[in-house]
Copies of this chain bind each other. A is one copy, B any other.
Amino acid sequence: MSALILDGKALAQKTEEELSTRVAALKEKSGGQTPILATILVGGDPASATYVKMKGNACTRIGMDSMKVELPEETTTEELLAKIEELNANPNVHGILLQHPVPAQIDERACFDAIALEKDVDGVTCLGFGRMSMGEEAYGCATPKGIMRLLEAYDIELEGKHAVVVGRSPILGKPMALMLLNANATVTICHSRTQNLPDIIKQADVIVGAVGKPEFIKADWIKDGAVVVDAGYHPGGVGDIELEPLKERASALTPVPGGVGPMTINTLIYQSVDSGEKKIG
């Protein structure tokens, strides 16, 4: 049996076509207005700069404007909060992305949480997480929401399945677990203190690797026929899961690269268009 490849790259491209149509329709209706995503980059970290650039490029591809905010390395929490408040108050801004991580002197959590709920298209606020968890309307955190969209596009059944999430970060493992729970999976959340990790993973009908360590999760911990989702990306094009041997044993699998990765930015712009439509449309 060969695993079904969950092709995030293809889904992202297909979605971009749909989003382009929606943005064009909005422009037509409003006399030229598009949704606008404000991206905030603090400091000069090259990886962060690249991510922000990729996000801006994705907006451009679908005909949507973005507003680039670049702040110096020595920005204070207060300065960043003031900028976020300004963007919250700006009616032309429909989504706000604060690129993670920010320099160490900044209280990142306070800054995330300052983003207005209706502009939190990257799904990073505590309020948005709480609302999503309780089944209330809120934009989902981009990476786990992208994974959910990918699983849905391929009609992967989750109800009653045992999903094991390895990792519990605020923007990946925790929201992933709650989204899977809300899709009626039985969910186990594992992390660095988990004992007998291989035994727990062995039970997974759906396994999500979200640990941030290259090939930390071994192929032989995963049972035949599992759905394998790898949210990691490391130099050399490997993820958090040892994927190669699973290509013949899993029922479905996200490749690295080209699986989860493209879905993160795609979800960000998808949610930005949603937000724009609510305000402009």
List residues of A whose CB falls within 8 A of some B CB. 109, 125-131, 133-134, 136, 159-162, 168, 170, 174, 177-178, 181, 184-191, 193-195, 200
Bound Cα distance from A220 to B86, whole angstroms: 59
Q: State the main secondary structure of chain A at its contact with B.
A: mixed
- Decide if B160 touches A195 in the complex (CB within 8 Å): yes
Bound Cα distance from A134 to B172, whole angstroms: 12
Bound Cα distance from A177 to B200, whole angstroms: 17
- Decide if A174 touches B133 in the complex (CB within 8 Å): yes
CB closest chain-B residue, reference A169: B134
Q: Cβ of A127: which chain B residues have Cβ within 8 Å of it?
A: 126-127, 130
| Known contacts A186-B188, A187-B188; A136 and B126 CB within 8 A of each other | yes
Bound Cα distance from A99 to B23, whole angstroms: 45
Kindly provide the distance from the CB of A97 to the nearest chain B CB, expressed in whole angstroms: 19
Q: Cβ of A170: which chain B residues have Cβ within 8 Å of it?
A: 134
Bound Cα distance from A184 to B162, whole angstroms: 20
Bound Cα distance from A178 to B189, whole angstroms: 10
Residue in B185, B186, B194 whose beta carbon sits within 8 Å of that of A160 in the complex: B194
